[in-house]
Amino acid sequence: MGQQEKVSTSLAGAVSEGISASLASVDAELDRRYPGDPGTRQPVHTVYVPGNVFEAGTIRSWGDRALAALDEHAPDAASFAAVLGLADDLAEDVYGRVRAKLEREPIEDLRVDFEDGYAGQDEDQDAARAARLISEAYRNGTAAPYMGIRMKCMESAVRNRGIRTTDVFLTGLLENGGLPDGLVLTLPKVTYPEQVSAFVRLLEAFEKAHGLDAGRLGFEIQIETSQSILATDGTAAVARMIGAAEGRATGLHYGTFDYSACLGVSAAYQASDHPAADHAKAIMQVAAAGTGVRVSDGSTNVLPVGSTEHVHEAWRLHYGLTRRALARAYYQGWDMHPGHIPTRYAAVFAFYREGFEAAAKRLSAYANHAGGDVMDEPATAKALSSYLLRGIDCGALDTAEVDALTGMNRAALDRFAAPRRGDLTASAE
């Protein structure tokens, strides 16, 4: 070891203490507003099913219908790969994983819809039935990882109905065994932050009425109006909505068609890759970054039904939109038909399979200080580990193969993917 250098300072300790004291409120604000990603699983999609048609067998039915679509229109890996342009070295693996996923877990997140998709005659009965069926599904192991409802919005014309349906549904869950861990609520057509605050007050009242822990009930905010992106004073209203949720917001979901129509986009051009959609989602993404609120893309209304030619065309469109969203860090989207979920999973699995080895080797090199042809930083190591964890959670990657290439178990990956001010220098185990 070389000669020790003389270390000298000029400032008294009180200077550092004073600076820290002056920034104490900022430190607290950072911790409150930007806690980082919660580290829980994020579903790759949300499926909406009208409340009047939701049944005990809905999830299995979607999986069976998706498998039947593959059997009819792409009965083997080669034909499926030809439709989507999958690389030869991915075709068998992706196709096999898609079929296995449809057998095992066809839907990752299901929302029973009491808003635009609802056409029932007795909403009280349908909301109570949804609560009972969801409770039963969690008890017997047939539930999706995440389930809940989309109620009507906080606008005056439907506000009371939305409040009542929320009450009926949540009360029904408690009467049928309690609130499941995977419960998700979706508040649609939010225009003003005050509407978010009003929903918070509703959930607070319900928690107090039943002696639940404060903050037990969270919800997603659906972005479907131009006013939710840009307020009249020119500020980003969506950022204020996250604050108005008081820590209860779990997601921002982009509503492709309502938002497009709000801006006057003609029906033929309403799509999740329209420039207006890109603008809205980019603002949503920046507003949500670091807050723990996740962003979800919207859907396509082009259904893969009818002739094989049309099904293939719809599959290519959906696959391309999903891959585009993944590249832009929108890891979740909406699926409106059973025929969409084969291409949802194909796109997701291909995305993670294609980048798996490179990501694993980069993370391993970083963790072991081994260098390499890319000089990564702690934030990139966080992104690499998050990528691998997302792949594992959805079934694109296997824990054993990730462990083999990175030398890390799940706990080590979780530490690298810790919140922003967490330990980004975790070592592999």
Q: What's the confidence (pLDDT) of residue 1?
A: 57
Residue ranges of the chain with per-residue pLDDT less than 70: 1, 370-376, 419-429
- Asked if 390 and 349 sit in the same domain, the reply is no
Q: Tokens in use for 232?
A: 């009249």
Report yes or no on 157 lying in a domain: yes
| Torsion sign (Cα): 387, 391, 392, 398 | negative
Is 298 in contact with 272 (CB distance < 8 Å)?
A: yes
| In-domain check, residue 164 | yes
Together in a domain, 338 and 373: no
Give the phi and the psi of residue 251 in degrees, each rounded to 5: -160, 155
| 237 lies in the same domain as 202 | yes
Domain membership of residue 37 (yes or no) is no
Residues 335 and 378 in one domain: no
In a domain, 3, yes or no: no
Give yes or no: residues 66 and 207 share one domain: yes
Of residues 319, 338, 423, the one with CA closest to residue 381: 423
d(CA 408, CA 73) in angstroms, rounded, equals 40
DSSP for 272-329, please give it.
Answer: TTSHHHHHHHHHHHHHHTTTT-EEE---------SSHHHHHHHHHHHHHHHHHHHHTT
Based on the fold, state whether residues 193 and 278 are members of the same structural domain.
Answer: yes
What is the pLDDT, as a whole number, of residue 369? 72
Query: Does residue 359 belong to any structural domain of this protein?
Result: yes
**Claim to verify: residue 263 and residue 374 sit in the same structural domain:** no
Are residue 384 and residue 273 in the same domain, yes or no?
A: no
Rounded to a whole number of angstroms, the distance between the first and last alpha carbons of the chain is: 30
Q: Are residues 331 and 370 in the same domain?
A: no
- What's residue 42's pLDDT? 97
Residues 403 and 343 in one domain: no
Q: Per residue in 89-121, pLDDT tens?
A: 999 999 999 999 999 999 999 999 999 999 999
pLDDT tens digit sequence for 156-197: 999 999 999 999 999 999 999 999 999 999 999 999 999 999
Same domain (yes/no): 309, 406? no
- Domain residues for the domain of 388 are 355-416
Which one of 309, 334, 354 terminates a domain?
Answer: 354
Number of domain units in the chain: 2
Beta bridge partners of 148: 111, 184
Q: Do 389 and 348 fall into the same domain?
A: no
Tell me, yes or no, whether 36 lies in a domain: no
Q: What's the pLDDT tens digit per position in 328-366?
A: 999 999 999 999 999 999 999 999 999 999 999 999 988
Residue 260: CB partners within 8 Å, gap ≥ 6? 269, 270, 271, 274, 276, 277
Domain of 49, CATH number, reads: 3.20.20.60
Count of beta carbons in the 10 Å neighbourhood of residue 263 = 15
Q: How far, rounded to the nearest angstrom, does the alpha carbon of residue 111 sit from its chain's CA centroid?
A: 13
**Is 22 part of any domain?**
no
30 inside domain: no
Q: What is the pLDDT of residue 371?
A: 57
Residue that the structure tokens 């979740």 belong to: 332
Last residue of a domain, one of 354, 369, 389: 354
Where a domain ends, among 318, 335, 354? 354
